[in-house]
A and B are shown apart, each in its own frame.
Chain A
Amino acid sequence: MLKVSLYRYNPEVDQEPYMQDVEIDTAGKDLMVLDVLELLKAKDPSLAYRRSCREGVCGSDGMNMNGKNGLACITPISEALKNGKGGNTLVLRPLPGLPVIRDLVIDMSLFYQQYEKVKPYLVNNTPAPAIERLQSPEERAKLDGLYECILCACCSTACPSFWWNPDRFIGPSGLLQAYRFLADSRDTATEQRLSELDDPFSVFRCHGIQNCVNVCPKGLNPTKAIGHIRNMLLSRGT
């Protein structure tokens, strides 16, 4: 039997959130955490969480497992337990720092607002060529490690700077996307993008703690992208 400690909160009934202790039979298998949640939901349909692809692609089931953010669908129980907090009990909480809607479901509005701020789309006002805007293989390679982000929010909700200022610090996920378009040879709005980032909060609240790198389920490195943005600001401003 696997012991699970679950964060529960239903604002319609509960005064405040509480941790619920449950046990579940995993038949001795090292299931993924999402499978455990499915088993638990079969017993108690009131349990709420987000999920869709169950293979680490959609980014909906980001949650905090034994103290570390990650995707439940690609995290085996054994790996979650290795995160340290909770001993042999699987401890599941919503991603920290954002308002909880219910159980493991959080309100991601602030996260998306920051994403929107960086204009995550190609801006190019020159006349479009007949077929497509071409890029050399080298130019295209610059987008590797940036475009793969699935917006799961594991990184931003692990970042203390984002906890304190989620309305003004773009956060690692948004900044990774900001750099993805700054680095794109086809984008012509570099100057405008940079001028919108040069305030004391948007980029410069990053203190390089690297929590973001530590949790990204896609193995991306927002801290490095933030360093590139800072260097671009530096060479533009000096």
Chain B
Amino acid sequence: MVKAVTSFGGSGLSDWLVQRVSGVVLLAYFLVVGSFLVCNGAELTYEQWSAYFDSTFMRVFSTAAVLSVVAHSWIGLWSVSTDYLTERMMGGKGTVLRLAFQAASAVVLFTYLVWGIQILWS
């Protein structure tokens, strides 16, 4: 039996909402950064790029984007693992595999989070 405790908020509604909101944040982020890239295209220098990300707005926005990646991925990966890596699908080893997969995902996402914040705020 897969327990729901490892989901993001324990409630289906909060997971679902977080998934939608983080999706919108990411879409907005890629549109903003994408349009900056398109506008400055070929002649973009390192100084411009670095100055662009130095502004408080971009720092906060990038942090929001990093948080969204982490939350969005966790909920998505958790759902996938509780769909496919289960006792029903693969017998007893389902639980072991699922936990290992979730632990690995958590480590990777936590690393991204710390790393991202370090890059943005140091």
Chain A contact residues, CB within 8 Å of chain B: 161, 164-165, 167-168, 197-205, 230, 233-234, 237-238
Nearest residue, chain B, Cβ from A197:
B12
A198 x B4 contact (CB < 8 A): no
What are 18 A-B contacts defined by CB distance under 8 Å? A161-B83, A164-B84, A164-B89, A165-B83, A199-B11, A200-B4, A200-B7, A200-B10, A203-B12, A204-B12, A204-B13, A205-B79, A230-B13, A233-B12, A234-B17, A237-B11, A237-B13, A238-B17
A238 to B16, CA, bound (A): 13
Nearest residue, chain B, Cβ from A160:
B83
Nearest residue, chain A, Cβ from B84:
A164
> A77 CB to closest chain B CB, in angstroms?
35
> A202 CB to closest chain B CB, in angstroms?
7
- B84 contact set on A, CB distance < 8 A: 164
Size range of the chain B interface in the assembly: 10 to 19
A237 to B16, CA, bound (A): 12
A15 to B84, CA, bound (A): 27
Judged by a CB distance under 8 angstroms, whether B86 is at the interface is: yes
- B12 contact set on A, CB distance < 8 A: 197-204, 233
B82 partner, pick from A165, A197, A233, beta carbons under 8 A: A165
A199 partner, pick from B4, B79, B86, B89, beta carbons under 8 A: B4
Judged by a CB distance under 8 angstroms, whether B2 is at the interface is: yes
A204 partner, pick from B1, B15, B83, B86, beta carbons under 8 A: B15
- Which 6 residue pairs of A and B lie closest in terms of their CB atoms, listed nearest first? A204-B12, A164-B83, A200-B12, A200-B7, A237-B13, A233-B13
A161 to B11, CA, bound (A): 18
- B7 contact set on A, CB distance < 8 A: 200
- B89 contact set on A, CB distance < 8 A: 164
Most buried by A among B7, B13, B82, B84: B13
> B117 CB to closest chain A CB, in angstroms?
27
> B24 CB to closest chain A CB, in angstroms?
15
Judged by a CB distance under 8 angstroms, whether B93 is at the interface is: no
> B76 CB to closest chain A CB, in angstroms?
11
- B11 contact set on A, CB distance < 8 A: 198-200, 237
A222 to B11, CA, bound (A): 22
| Chain B 1-34 interface residues, beta-carbon cutoff 8 Å to A | 1-2, 4, 7, 10-17
A203 to B13, CA, bound (A): 9
- A237 contact set on B, CB distance < 8 A: 11, 13-14
B13 x A164 contact (CB < 8 A): no
> A156 CB to closest chain B CB, in angstroms?
15
A234 to B21, CA, bound (A): 14
